[in-house]
Structure 1
Amino acid sequence: MFKKILVATDGSPLSEKAVASAIGLARQHGAELVAFTVARRPPHSYMDGTTIQQTTESENIDKLRLEKAHAMVAAIGERASASGVSCQAQVAHSNQVAESIIAAAEKHASDLIVMASHGRKGIGRLLLGSETQHVLTHSTLPVLVLR
């Protein structure tokens, strides 16, 4: 049924469950997996919600985030390979997480997006929104959300 599955992760324990489920689903369907994460850019101004950082400090933070993101998707690729699943790893460098997930799924011609719901409630959901909700409402592809 599925030929290519994109699993979006942020490395949280809940998204690790989504990764494990995506690997199992890919194995079950003989599908290829795309391990995907977004390395957020550090804020650069007061308007981004932080104090202004020195350029070198901001660049160091950015570099560390990218390294961590690449290591995370590489580890997922290794786990998938150990399970007999072919896996591509991709990192986006953006602050538009949901849009990056949708664009990656379309770029890779994915049949399914798998991701976790972080379950924000109350004022946190109202103020912060939900990347999962955004993907659900804007993607033309099926989305499997795991709790």
Structure 2
Amino acid sequence: MYKRILVATDGSTLSKKAVKDAITLAASLEAGLVALNVVPRYPVSYFEGGATVSPQEVGRIEKDWADRGQAVVDAVCKTAEAAGVKAKAVTVKSDLVAASILTTAKKNKCDLIVMASHGRKGISRILLGSETQQVLTHSGIPVLVLR
């Protein structure tokens, strides 16, 4: 059925549930797994009165975020491999999470995307947006959403 599954994770409790289910599904289907963490860029403001941070500090912060993101996907791969699932760890540096998920799925020839959703409704969904909704809207492959 599915040969390669992408699971998007940020290391949160909710995304750990999606990871667990993605590993279980991959094991049952004898599919490969791609574990993805999208690392944000440090927001830099050039407006008057904005806090100034040195380029070295921005670099240090972004490296710390990238290292944490890599640790998250490495842990997923370790768990997957212990379950007999071949896994690949991927981190992408971008502020466009949904687009990064879709691009990574395409690049790695994934035929299913697994991700978690907080299930926000109403005004909180409008204000906070939904990466999951963006993936669902623009994906050409099936998306499994877990809560």
Aligned to 2:67: 67
Aligned to 1:128: 128
C-alpha separation between the residues in 1 aligned to 2:51 and 2:106? 36
Alpha-carbon shift at residue 46 of structure 1 (Å): 5.3
Deviations 1:16-54 (A, max 9, x none): 00000000000000000000010101101157xx74422
Q: TM-score, normalised by structure 2?
A: 0.94
Alpha-carbon shift at residue 6 of structure 1 (Å): 0.3
After superposition, the Cα gap between the structure-2 partners of 1:32 and 1:62, relative to the gap in structure 1 and judged at 3 Å, is: same
C-alpha separation between the residues in 2 aligned to 1:84 and 1:100? 27
C-alpha separation between the residues in 2 aligned to 1:142 and 1:46? 40
Which residue identity is paired with 1:38? V
* Residue range with higher mean Cα deviation, 80-89 or 111-120: 111-120
> Which segments of structure 1 move beyond 3 Å, counting only runs of 4 or more?
none
Alpha-carbon shift at residue 60 of structure 1 (Å): 1.1
After superposition, the Cα gap between the structure-2 partners of 1:20 and 1:129, relative to the gap in structure 1 and judged at 3 Å, is: same
C-alpha separation between the residues in 1 aligned to 2:73 and 2:112? 18
Aligned to 1:115: 115
Deviations 1:52-71 (A, max 9, x none): 42222211110000000011
Q: TM-score, normalised by structure 1?
A: 0.94
Which residue identity is paired with 1:124? S
Aligned to 1:94: 94
Q: How does 1:33-112 map to 2 (within 5 A)?
A: 33-45=33-45, 51-112=51-112
Unaligned ranges ≥5, structure 1: none
Alpha-carbon shift at residue 123 of structure 1 (Å): 2.5
Alpha-carbon shift at residue 120 of structure 1 (Å): 2.4
Deviations 1:4-25 (A, max 9, x none): 0000011110100000000000
* Residue range with higher mean Cα deviation, 114-123 or 72-81: 114-123
Local SS of the residue matching 1:141: coil
Deviations 1:57-111 (A, max 9, x none): 2111100000000111001000000000000010000000000000000001101
C-alpha separation between the residues in 2 aligned to 1:17 and 1:35? 13
Unaligned ranges ≥5, structure 2: none
Q: Percent identity?
A: 54
After superposition, the Cα gap between the structure-2 partners of 1:121 and 1:57, relative to the gap in structure 1 and judged at 3 Å, is: farther
Aligned to 1:25: 25
